[in-house]
Every structure is written in C-alpha cells, then in structure tokens.
Structure 1
Amino acid sequence: MTQLKYSMVIQWSDEDDCFLVGFPDFPGQQWRTHGDTYELAVSNGIEALESLIMAYEATGESLPEPTVCKAA
C-alpha cells in the first residue's frame, strides 16, 4: 500500500505489559493496537494503519497529511 507514509509510534507499557502502537498524524485515541513483542507490534501496526486508511476512504473522509521529516 503506497499510502503508508505515516509515523508509527511503538512504546513499551509496563502497565499493559506489551508494546503499544499509535499513529500521531491521526486524531482520536492515542494507541490503536499493541503487540507482545516489538516485531508483533510492527506487524499489528501495519495492519491497523491499513485498516484505518480504508475506514477513512470508505466514509469519504480526507486522510490527514503525514508528518514528513527532512534529512539535512
């Protein structure tokens, strides 16, 4: 999917005993999915982002602009 240009934040949570995954460019809940390992969090994050994009497209809602970092 070519639209996966969004930042994905993966952070360990002692409280939840797992890695939490969020997408700061999308408004709403801070965390969208999780994983028991970092690798699983990445995989689940990609699936969640694809699903989130499809949901925006299905409702005709405009996707937010992705945050772009510029290298020096």
Structure 2
Amino acid sequence: MGTEPLRYSMNIQWSEEDQTYIATIPELPGCKTHGTTYVEAVKQGQDAIESWIEANKAWGRPIPAPRVTMTA
C-alpha cells in the first residue's frame, strides 16, 4: 500500500450504550469500527483504514492525505 495507515488520526471512545470501544478515522469519511478492548479497537481501526483506502482506490475516488498535527 502506498499510504501508511498509521499516519491517519484515530479517535477511540468508550460507548456505554454499546459496551465497546468505537474507533473513528476523521480524515476518512464513514471509516469507523469497534473492539471489545482498547487495543482491539486500534487494531480494527488499522484494518478499517487499509480497507477504506483499498476500496476507494478501486472506485477511483481520491484518498485524503493524513492530517498533519504540530505540537510544541
């Protein structure tokens, strides 16, 4: 894969309603998944990023660049 999946932002939040961790990828519209543990949610998030990119490439859609975050 040309784009490094780990460079995309990933938000992990606990869902009381679903009793699971929800992983969302802000740069990739509709890209989200879940896991029963925090670590599982991160792994599932990485898989979701790869799948999202592969599918959108196949459909000829543009792939957004990872967001650049600067900290001081």
Structure 1 residue 27: deviation in Å? 2.2
Task: State the match for 2:11 in structure 1.
Answer: 9
TM-score by length of 2: 0.85
Task: State the match for 2:64 in structure 1.
Answer: 64
CA RMSD between the two structures: 1.5
- Counting aligned pairs with the same residue, the percent is 47
Structure 1 residue 10: deviation in Å? 0.7
Structure 1 residue 50: deviation in Å? 0.5
Residues of 1 paired with 2:12 and 2:56: CA distance?
22
How many corresponding residue pairs? Answer: 70
TM-score by length of 1: 0.85
AA in 2 matched with 1:8: M
Structure 1 residue 32: deviation in Å? 1.4
Equivalent residues in 2 for 1:1-72 (5 A)?
1=1, 2-4=3-5, 5-28=7-30, 32-72=32-72
Residues of 2 paired with 1:46 and 1:61: CA distance?
20
Give structure 1 stretches of 5+ with no counterpart: none
CA deviation profile, 1:50-70 (whole Å, cap 9, x unmatched): 000101111111111221112
Give structure 2 stretches of 5+ with no counterpart: none
